[in-house]
Amino acid sequence: MPLVNLNELFDPTRERRAVGLFNVAGLEFAEAMIEVAEELNTPIILGVPERFFQFSRLENVVRLCVDMAERARVPVAVHLDHGKSFDNILRALRNGVSSVMFDGSSLPYEENVARTAEIVRIAHTMGVSVEGELGYVGRGDFDPTDPSFYTNPEQAADFVAKTGVDALAIAVGTAHGIYKTTPKLDFERLKSIRQKVDVALVLHGGSGVSDEDFQKAIACGIDKINVFTEISVSVIKTVSEATSNCSDWIRVTGEMRRTIANVVRHYMTVFNTGLDHDCDL
């Protein structure tokens, strides 16, 4: 199966299912994720988070993922997640990613438009898809009561028209990391964005969202869902338990891999069953 970009993953007839992006934080992550995708015969997106490059070389992580994707039995996209640095985006492109995110969500609107459009112009010459972000899916700083965090539907249409992005990350009530209170998704806003925007819509901050809300979000127009924290928390728990009575790291990696596979399998199954739900508001 070839390495694919995001446009090759989304069904233009908008069959209601979403493709999962799972962040890679090491070899075991990528291997377990592709194994589950093959087992379920479902496409997958390996997300390479820019913040991981504080610890591992971009070239090593990207090439590892690209090589594994090219040998997978299902379509796999390798996507730079939350790219903020122009240099990192160019290095990721040079090393073979099939998709990049430029996260200009904390920039003033016009600057976000200009910088995203520039990345789109470069990436599209290489057949690489681009995801932009509008609104602000924060981490600990997300305030669900503050309307300025949320994506404005009219502005989303303007952003897509001016930048030419293939996918748009929107803020409709989710945030990255562990939620302090149960997330409450703004389905009305999501539906309104879907009506005005024709590119793939992306839900970040998937960990902690209920299965029912995922399926409703998919029915209302979400095409791609990003998950990491839930995998991270489960891996940390597994490793701390496994290392309390074992000093063989190779065995621990086996336990890690099983844990990653179990979490990813659950999400991929939920994302594939969006068809049964309506976007009834």
Alpha-carbon dihedral angle through residues 249, 267, 232, 30, given to the nearest 10 degrees: 50
At closest approach, how far in Å is the CB of 214 from ligand 13P? Answer: 12
Minimum distance from CB of 150 to ligand 13P (Å)? 16
Establish if 177 lies at the interface with ligand 13P (CB under 6 A): yes
User: CB of residue 205 vs ligand 13P: minimum separation in angstroms?
Assistant: 4
Residue 163 near ligand 13P by CB under 6 A: no
Whole-number CA gyration radius for the chain: 18
* Binding status of residue 99 toward ligand 13P by CB under 6 A: no
* C-beta closer to ligand 13P: residue 15 or 55: 55
- Residue 152 in tokens: 């404005």
Closer residue to ligand 13P (CB): 229 or 272: 229
Does 206 bind ligand 13P (CB under 6 A)? Our answer is: yes
Q: Is 103 in the site for ligand 13P (CB under 6 A)?
A: no
Q: Which of 200, 171, 176 is nearest to 186 (CA)?
A: 171
CB 176 within 8 A of CB 151: no
Of 134, 205, 203, which is closest to residue 165 (Cα–Cα)? 134
Contact 272, 213 (CB under 8 A): no
C-alpha triplet 172, 82, 24: angle, nearest 5°: 105
Q: Least separation, in Å, of the C-beta of 2 and ligand 13P? A: 24
79 binding ligand 13P? (CB under 6 A): no
User: Under 8 Å CB-to-CB from 6, ≥6 apart: which residues?
Assistant: 45, 77, 79, 98, 99, 129, 131, 166, 167, 200, 224
Q: Which is nearer to ligand 13P, 184 or 251 (CB)?
A: 184
Beta carbon of residue 29, minimum distance to ligand 13P (angstroms, whole number): 13
Between 248 and 270, name the residue whose CB sits nearer to ligand 13P.
Answer: 270
Per CB under 6 A, the segment of 54-62, 67-75, 187-195, 205-213 that binds ligand 13P is 205-213
Q: How far apart are CA 5 and CA 98, in angstroms?
A: 5
Alpha helices for 84-186 (secondary structure H) = 86-94, 109-125, 153-163
The binding track of 217-256 with respect to ligand 13P, each residue x by CB under 6 A or -, is: ---------xxxxx--------------------------
Q: Which stretch binds ligand 13P (CB under 6 A): 10-18, 154-162, 204-212, 256-264?
A: 204-212
C-alpha pair distances (Å), 54 with each of 65, 143, 176: 18, 27, 19
Cα torsion angle, 198, 199, 204, 209, sign? positive
CB-nearer residue toward ligand 13P: 105 or 192: 105
Which of 205, 260, 270, 279: binder of ligand 13P (CB under 6 A)? 205
Residues marked active site are found at 81
Q: How many residues line the site for ligand 13P (CB under 6 A)? A: 14
**Site membership for ligand 13P, residue 53 (CB under 6 A):** no
* Contact set with ligand 13P (CB under 6 A): 23, 81-82, 176-177, 204-207, 226-230
